[in-house]
Every structure is written in structure tokens, then in C-alpha cells.
Amino acid sequence: MAFISSLLLIMVLIAFPLSSSGGKWTYDGPDGEHHWSRNFPYCGGAFQSPINFQPELLRFDPNLLPIQLQDYNLSTKEQLTLSNNGHSVLLSLPSRMHLTGLPHRYSAAQLHFHWGSSNTPVGSEHTVDGKQFGAEMHLVHFNSAKYPNISTALDKSDGLAVLGVFIEVGEYNPAFDRFLKYVNGIKYNGQKVQVAGFNVRELLPARLDEYYRYDGSLTTPPCFPSVLWTVFRNPVSISLRQYLALASALFSSHAQEAAPMPLLGNYRKTQLMDNRVVLVSFQQGWGLHGTTPVASPVQRRLVIQHLLNGDLADLADGELRHLLPKLQRKPWAVKKLNNPKQQHLGQVTEKHQKNKGVDTTINDALCFINLEKNVSVWLRRHHLNTQMTQALRKAVFPELNLKSYLNCRSDLDLQTIRHLLRSRPSDEANELDQALTKVSQGQKQRPMTQYQGSALTKLTGQTQAAGLKSSHNMVPTNHRLQPMEWED
């Protein structure tokens, strides 16, 4: 009897997966995206996706090679699972499908879609200079060189790589009918059907050498900033009938519910850039003619070494503008702390972290579930639970920005510069801080004392090396994500 009860419990958990925070989420209403951060604090944090690809934020990188797809042509004898998880339509993909040419080998996990409604056929998540396409397809891959499965990789800063494909409503596309013809079998949340394998390459644009590349996040809760995004420049086309198969035939509710809820408008609005830039593999169009290519990794490492080891007094006197030419761009926005408890959060006495050096900073993979757990414990002790989003943003933003900067995918913002200066003599650091303020005149800056040291060290009283241990050693099993409760 106990075995049957346990089996029933497992079946319920599979059919109704729990989130990492136990929170329900939708795209609109009281559980809509504006309220995601209440239960999923990273959704209000740094390096979020999707974004708008604005011409002034694009940087041409001649080192970006065409995307290389391996084993994408599947046998018709292979069975794929097409499912409705209440948020999107998902198609499972075998892990032998993988990408090469990226920093690691990334193996496929699934693909899914975001779309608008039958009345408003615009529903892509990313936009190009404000233009929104009819829909968007995401092919999700995980870093199989470092992690055994996608569940383990999901919350790591180098865990995922997602291919984004814009979809416009136009000509009929036979490749999409390989699975769209089965959507009537998955009309309701939790339903699944089997689909014969096919050549997944046919779903992608003809040109794989033109794309946008940036560091971002899952576009659905828990919104971990763990994604290396590659969004292809050229859209693919599907017919209006094919589009309506997604936008008018599906429900986010279960079949047994009395009031069916249509599954439509399942796209997140574009997010803040957080001083990121977008690398592009093409130089024609969108005002990119004559654009200066991104700085080389060697040049960028010299900037870091100068900040860590150089003469900060000389840097403050005359070389700051030359060294950091993009400081005039809009900095990371910080909300002011108004009540005394909130102010205490920024004034906690800390043990200053030793300078770990550039290489350590680059190679340490942030584990976002661990950070959330450690920060949550500290906040509960000080009755500051409502400050989770802001505290996590402080903890991860400098590390993410530094990693992205060294890989030529962002600017080095003021907060990260101060993060680098935490081990320098206070008089030199203060002098440079004053120079930074002059360089960014007209922009509000927080006091230097609130930025020195690792934010995680402030909150937990330990070094980041201790705080970033492998998640399976620190996180209880019920904190793990269940299968298919996220899309990106």
C-alpha cells in the first residue's frame, strides 16, 4: 500500500511539476511577469533576457564563426516527445545532437516556441530595433562538457546555450508540419504525443553565419542568468494556418478544468541591457558599416591587470577616459534603500576577500541555486526576506559582468570596477572612485563603501570560494527543478 501511495505521489509530481520556489507563474495577471521576482528572485536580477537588439549596442566581432550543428538529421525511426506544459509547446531532442565551435560542447535538450495571439500575430521575445516578429523558436542546449545533464547545468553561469530563431507569418513551411500536425493531441496542459524524428536543421534559417551573440538568462522562471544566446539574424517563415495551430488551438489549463484558459501571448517583454553589448557576426546593415570591432581578449585583460596592479593615482589623473571609453553609457540602475533595515543590508561588516586574480574570477562557475540559498539564510536571520532580489543582484552582477567583459560581450561597468578594486589600498581606491564619479558626471553613483568586497561575502560572512560549492552538496533535493517546468 505504501508503495502504491509513493507511486501516486511521483505521478502527481510529474503531471504537476513544482517550481524551485514553489511559486505559480503566468504571463499576465496577479502571477504575471511583473510579479515573477516575488517567488523567483533572479527574474528581477541582472543579465536578463530577452532584449532589444539596438543598432548602437551592436559590436562586430570577426572571430564569430558560423554555428556548427552536429547530428541534427534524425532518423524517422527515432521517437520524439511533443508536449504541452501549460506555458509552451516543447519537443524533446536527443543529447547526441550538439553544437561545436562554442567555448564548450553543448548538447541538445529540447526546443519550444513563444507566440502572440490569433488577433495579434506578434509574439517573438527578442526584438530587432523595436521590431517584434510573429513568433520565436528556442533550441535549448546544455554544457555537456562540464555537467552530466540539463538539470545540473541549469543554474550554472556557463550551463546553457540557446539558439533563437525568429519566425514570421508568410509562406508555408513543410518542416514545421512534421510536429505541428500533432498539436490537437496536446491541446491541454500535461498532454504528450510521440513524433517521428526528422531533420531538425530544416527548422533553422539557411544562413547560420549571421547572428547576434550575448550573455543572458532563461526567459521564464526561475530566470537564471545562465544562457549564452545565439539569435539568428534571418527569420524563417510559416503560414498563417501553421501559426494559428499554436495561437488558437492550445490551452494552458488541464483537460479536467471547468474553465479552459487559452495558451497565447506566452512571451516575456524585453529586459534592461545592464551595460551589456551584443556581438554580431555580420557587418552589413543596421548601421554597422565602419563599426569598430570589439577589443581583443588580450586588450581587455590588460585593462583588468591595470586596475588590479597598476598605479591607480596615475590612472585617476589622466588615463581613465582612454582606458574605459564607454563609461558615459547608462550605468546599472540601483534602487535606493529607504528604511533602516534595508540600509543595514548595505552596511554589514565584512571580511574583505583576498584578491583571487583574474584567472580565478574567470573560471569559477557561479551556481545560482547556491547563491540564492546562502543569501536567503542570511536575510532570514536579519528579517529582510523582501530584499532577496536586490541582494542577489548585488552578489552576481560584478562576476557576470567581468566574465562577459573578458569574453568581449559587455562593457566594464562602474560597479564591476569597484568590485575589482576591493583589495587595493583604500586611499588609492578612493582617489580612483572620485575620478570615476567625475568621468560619469550627471549619473548617480552609490558610495564606494557599499561596493567594496564581494556582495556574497557581506551577506554570508564567507568567501565566494566557499559560497560557490557544487549545488548537489548544499541544496536539498526538493529545491531542484522538476522536468519541463521551464522553457529556455
pLDDT tens-digit readout, 288-302: 554 567 888 888 888
CATH class of 46-280: alpha beta
- Joined together, the cell numbers standing for residue 320 give 581613465
Task: Give which of 353, 188, 212 is closest to 277, Cα–Cα.
Answer: 212
How crowded is the C-beta side of 106, counted as CA atoms within 13 Å?
28
Distances (CA, A) of 248 to 88, 111, 119, 236, 241: 13, 20, 9, 20, 10
Catalytic residue (one of 87, 126, 141, 419): 87
Mean pLDDT of the chain, nearest integer: 79
Residue range 50-55: mean pLDDT, rounded: 96
pLDDT of the residue at 346: 35
Q: What pLDDT sits at residue 470?
A: 33
- Whether pLDDT at 19 is above 70: no
Q: Is the pLDDT of residue 363 over 70?
A: no
User: Which of 111-125, 186-200, 349-363, 417-431 bottoms out in mean pLDDT, i.e. has the lowest?
Assistant: 349-363
Bridge partners of 214?
229
The residue ranges of DSSP E strands in 148-283, in sequence order, are: 160-169, 192-196, 211-216, 227-232, 236-238, 278-280
Whole-structure pTM value: 0.81
Q: Which CA distances in Å does 7 have to 12, 13, 66, 256? A: 9, 10, 47, 21
383 is catalytic: no
Whether residue 16 is predicted with pLDDT greater than 60 in this model: the reply is: no
pLDDT at 306: 78
Would you list the domain boundaries of the chain? 46-280, 297-479
The pLDDT of residue 420: 84
